[in-house]
Every structure is written in structure tokens, then in C-alpha cells.
Amino acid sequence: MANDMDVEDITRVAVLGAGNMGHGIAEVAALAGYDVTLRDIEEDIVREGYEDIEWSVHKLDDKDRLEEDPETVLKRIMPLVDMETAVEDADVVIEAVPEVMDIKTEVYEALEAHAPDGAIFATNTSALSITDLSEVTERPTQFCGMHFFNPPVRMQLVEVISGAHTGEETIETIEALAESFEKTPVRVRKDSPGFVVNRVLTPLLNEACWAVHEGDADIATVDSTSKYGVGLPMGTFELADRVGNDVAYHVLEYLHAELGEAYEPCPLLSQKVEAEQFGEKTGEGWYDHD
């Protein structure tokens, strides 16, 4: 199947998954003027995602970062649970569901049944293989990675990743879409584990855990050194709480399996995940966020 869609043809973007990344991506698309559907499996999850967008859009307005009325932006977003309604008119579908292959496979099967033939599918996966995901669908040439960073509304970069089957037109359209979102796309040349950002970032988060685990420093000291020595905008543990300890752990597990021992998740991180202390989204992580 050849993709002949230009970015000018795109009016409706469907985002699947209303968690941290999904609702942030939906917000970015709405801010850029697109009609957006935001879909998740339960009413409560979609409502919470929409409420987070409401908070963020009003915060942007308070900070004079919004060029139009917040309500105008919010009206472009339709939160819902029904897959058919979410995707039947979509030009581009951005998938941001949990990083579990079985969940993603199930979502792509349902999506394929209802999406228009010409629609492009883009996945926000943090690490999983774009080629493997594309092969779950019937349109591997119209499939690529479109990886945003948390919080999408504030982070400039988008990694655009080709799988083995991705068509050049698909990549060009998604790069142009990222630019229309006022983001800076970078093309990742190989569908390699963790792409570029997570291959670099998650070992940093992991190493911070090892330093504490082995008694070299406490969490506050590591965070101070990250900010005042390395110049990061947040401490490493603050960032892990922002990204989600579960997300960092899943990426590391995948890198460990694919790339070897250097990526073995630190037991301290595994314990956080077992305790479901994922960070900001659960109210508790390395820090208390209540």
C-alpha cells in the first residue's frame, strides 16, 4: 500500500492511549489546530487525560504561552472510548498505549478494522521495534515511529523512526507533521533498541540508581550533581519520577535483553516498580508528589 498523503491533507489526528504521553500528544496536536480524538479503554482514564490537558492548557495561558483562547483549543479534542468513532475519520493515528507487545498487538488489530486505508499509523513507543510493530498491521509501509518526550507540550524534540518496511513518503509526512506541531523532528537512521534518546538517557537513570544502591551517594546528592554539575534541567531522580519509573524500567529491560549486561536494571529501580511507586503519576516515586 503506497502512502500519498501530504501534511496539508491531514485534518484529524487520533491518539490512542490517554496516559501521560497520549494526552500530552493530543494537546500538542490540538494546539497546532488539528481536530483530535483521544481514546482509551475506560471512561475514567480518558476523563483524567482530558482533565490533565485542561490543566496544562490553562497553565500555558497563565504563562502567556498560548496564542488563542484555551476553550478553543480544548474544543478540538474529543475524548472517547469507542475505537471505531476514534479512528474512522483519522488521517494519522498516533499510538501511545503501554509498552507491552500483547497490548499493542490487540490495539493495532482493533485499529486496523476501523481506520481508513490511507491513514498513517505512528507509534510513540520508547524502545520497541518499529519493524515488529509494523508487521502486526496490514500497512507496514504506512507505519513509523513518532517518539515524543515528557512533557510533550514543553519538549522540543521528536524522534522519527523508520522500520524495515516504512515508505519514504510516510517518514516525510510524519516529519512535516512534527514540524506543524512546532517540534523539531530528528530522523533516527536505524530501528535500534531505545533509538537514540533512550539508549543514552535510561542508562543515566539506571546509573544514578546504582550509585545510591551501592552507597556512593544519597538521592538528593545525585540530583544536585545532575543539576549543578552536569547541567540537566532536573535532577536524575526527579526526571525518573517525571518519565515514570515503570517506563524507565521497561525500556531498560528491553535494552538489557537486546544489547546486554550493561543495561541490567538496578534492583533499586525494580523495587520501585514492584511497589508501584512510578513517580508523579502515582503520587509516589523517589519523591512524594501528593
Which of 95, 159, 238, 284 does the annotation list as catalytic? 159
Q: Which is nearer to ligand CAA, 45 or 239 (CB)?
A: 239
Q: Which is nearer to ligand CAA, 204 or 217 (CB)?
A: 204
Dihedral of the alpha carbons of 58, 126, 110, 138, in degrees to the nearest 10: 130
Cell 502512502 belongs to residue:
3
Closest CB 154 distance from ligand CAA, rounded Å: 4
Closest CB 204 distance from ligand CAA, rounded Å: 10
Within 10 angstroms of residue 185's Cβ, the number of other Cβ atoms is: 19
In terms of DSSP bridges, do strands 143-147 and 12-16 run parallel, antiparallel, or are they unpaired? unpaired
Q: Which is nearer to ligand CAA, 145 or 167 (CB)?
A: 145
Closest CB 117 distance from ligand CAA, rounded Å: 30
Are 26 and 56 spatial neighbours (Cβ–Cβ below 8 Å)? no
Active site residue 58: no
Closest CB 153 distance from ligand CAA, rounded Å: 5
Give every CB contact of residue 27 below 8 A, 6+ residues apart in sequence.
Answer: 53, 56, 57, 73, 77, 152, 153
**Residues that bind ligand CAA in the complex, under the rule CB under 6 A:** 56, 59-60, 126, 149-151, 153-155, 198, 201, 233-234, 239, 243, 247
In terms of DSSP bridges, do strands 12-16 and 92-95 run parallel, antiparallel, or are they unpaired? parallel
Active site residue 198: yes
Which of 126, 162, 206, 226 does the annotation list as catalytic? 126
Q: Which is nearer to ligand CAA, 155 or 217 (CB)?
A: 155
Active site residue 159: yes
Active site residue 147: yes
Q: Which is nearer to ligand CAA, 78 or 255 (CB)?
A: 255
Closest CB 113 distance from ligand CAA, rounded Å: 28
Are 40 and 18 spatial neighbours (Cβ–Cβ below 8 Å)? yes
Cα separation, 134 vs 270, in Å, equals 30
Which of 56, 124, 134, 198 does the annotation list as catalytic? 198
Which of 56, 129, 147, 284 does the annotation list as catalytic? 147
Give every CB contact of residue 76 below 8 A, 6+ residues apart in sequence.
Answer: 30, 33, 34, 35, 36
Active site residues: 126, 147, 159, 198
